[in-house]
Each structure stands twice: as structure tokens, then as C-alpha cells.
Amino acid sequence: MERLRRIDKDVKKIKWEDFENELTRILSLYSALEEANERKRNLQQKLEPLIQVNAETLSRRNELEEMRQRLEARKLLVEKTSAASKVAEHDAKKKEEKLSTEVKALVIGGTSLSVTKSKSQDSNCQLEGERDYARLNSVMNKLRKRQQNMISLVSRIYHLKIKAGLSEDQKLESFPGGSKSGTTPVTEGGSVTILGLPFSMAPFAKMSFFTDKEEAQRSATALGYVAHAVSLIASYLTVPLRYPLRFGGSKSYIRDFAPSIEPLSSDMTPIATLSENLTFVEFPLFLDGQDSTRAAYAVFLLNKNIEQLLNIVGKTTRGSRQLLQNLKELTQIIQSPMFLET
């Protein structure tokens, strides 16, 4: 009932004489409504393509934003990598400068050692009697200490480190009859590296197309280090090497002097002819484009130089294949107290 009352209250009552006018007004409103609906449908048809284009534009804009974000992330990664590379390059330059300073110190020390040796030789000619002999011993002891200090610096620059496990060359030397001296290597139970590089005679034994080029390059670099270290040690000990070295880093050479025998003239003795016609042949301490036999012979001659220095300090070589082991033993003997007593 209450609902009927409300409906009855909302109903508009029209007088009969106004019915026609009211009907006309309603028809006019209905016509206007139909026209508005028609315009709405037309407008909707026009707006649908625009809405679709707008949606595609928004999708592409989102894809473009994602691509931009990925690009920014890659730029950031490149910047970090570049910064790390610059730091590594800076560290490498610092290490190079430090090494250069130490080498210069070695050169200066070598000059000082040569002057001291010269003074010692001059003093040796003037010393007489027990008092002078004591002074000579004192000077020689100082010289030995100086030599020991300089060679200690060499061993610090060209650091020789023992690694666990036998190398291939050590295994060959450890077999019965494999070592000429018949003694146990100084680095028993481990192989030796120089500045982190190992050395093996394997690439020099048989060079072929399948030879590991990186191993050959590492061996050449290691031989360059050994050649320079041996040259420095020989100069500080004032020992002329039997087989001189021409140092060139990983492209070093060693010389083997051999007499050239020619027909003798009537006024020349055989000894004079041999001394005047003495020539040398260079052998490469690397395999890059070289005959493996010549390179292996160069390594043999280099080991002979180390054997010569070992003989100077009263020791013998540990094996023809154990190049780094022999050099390690040489530096250890020179740095030991026994060297000062010789």
C-alpha cells in the first residue's frame, strides 16, 4: 500500500485539454532521444579505431620502455667492465714500474759489485803476511755477502716455486739410469716453476703440427726468464759463461763457439790458426718457426751454463732435463751460509 501511495504521488496528472500538447511533447522528446542514440552509435563507430590505435601505441610504448631499460642495464654493465679493466691496467702498470725499479737497482748493484771486485783484486796484490791475509779474508767475505745479496734479489725477481707432483721431465730423470749424477733431485716430490711458468722438454722433443702452441710459448717465456737470471748470476759471480747468451725475452739465443779449421800456411802454427778463426753459431731458445733439434740443443747448452755455475760453488747438476731444478739449487746454495765459507 505504501508503495502504491508513492507511485500515485509520483504520477503526473494531466488535464484532457492538455493531453494533446503533452503527447506532442513526449513524441518530440522520443524523437530527440532516437537521434541522440543514433549520434552515439556513429560516434562509437568512429572512436573504436582510435581506441584500438591508442591501445597499440600504448603497447609499443611499453615495449620501447622495456628496451630502453635493457639498454640502460647493458650500458651500466659496460661501464662496470670498463672500470674493472682500467683498475687491472693500473695495477699492471704499477707492477711493471716496480719490476723496472728492481731491475735498475740490480744494474746499479751490479756496477757497485764490479767496482768492489776490482778494488778487491787491487788490494789482493798488495796484501802480504798474516795481517794482510786477514784483511783479504774480510774483504772477500764482504764481496761474498754482496754477491749473495745481489743474487738474492735476482731470485726474488725471477721467483722459483716448488709445486706438488713430479713433472714429466722429473719422472724421466727419476728412472734408474735416467740421471747422470745418480742423485735425487733437490725438488723431490715436486716440480719447479719460474714466475708461475713451468718448463718441460716435451715440446722440444718432437715438434709437429699438433704441438700445443701455448705450451711452446710458455716454455719460450720461461727460457727467457732463465737466460736472463743466469746472465745476471754469472755477471755477479764474475764468471764468463762457456756459452754466451743473447737475451731477447722469449726470443733469446745462446751461442756455441766452434773453431773453423782452414788449410795452414807455412808461417802459421795450428794453435794460432784455431784462435784466430774461432766462430760461433746461435741456437734459439724457442720453438716459434725453429727447428726443434736446434732448440733442444740450445736448452742443453743453457743447462750446461747452469752446470758451470754449480761447479763454481762446488756442486754438480741434478740432471740434464731438470733446468729449473738446477737453477733453483744454484740460488739456494748461493743464499745459504755455506756460500760465505767457500
Q: Is residue 336 part of a domain?
A: yes
- Contact partners, residue 227, CB within 8 Å, separation at least 6: 245, 247, 252, 254, 285, 302
Q: Is residue 25 part of a domain?
A: no
Provide the CATH number for the domain around residue 190: 1.10.418
- pTM for the full predicted model: 0.52
Taking 50 as the threshold, does the pLDDT of residue 341 lie above it?
A: yes
Do 190 and 165 touch, CB atoms closer than 8 A? yes
Question: Tens of pLDDT along 56-103?
Answer: 888 888 999 999 999 999 999 999 998 898 898 888 888 888 888 888
pLDDT at 9: 61
Q: Is residue 27 part of a domain?
A: no
Q: Pick the residue with more confidence: 317 or 113?
A: 113
Compute the distance between CA of residue 163 and CA of residue 173 in angstroms, rounded to an integer: 17
Question: Tens of pLDDT along 304-338?
Answer: 999 999 898 888 877 767 888 988 988 888 888 88
Range of the domain at 194: 159-341
Q: Is residue 57 part of a domain?
A: no
Handedness of CA 182, 184, 185, 190 (dihedral sign): positive
Share of the chain above pLDDT 70, in %: 75
Compute the distance between CA of residue 299 and CA of residue 321 in angstroms, rounded to an integer: 9
Residue 330 in grid coordinates: 744454484
Q: Is residue 173 part of a domain?
A: yes
Q: How many domains does the chain have?
A: 1
Q: Is residue 183 part of a domain?
A: yes
Q: Is residue 266 part of a domain?
A: yes
Q: Is residue 213 part of a domain?
A: yes
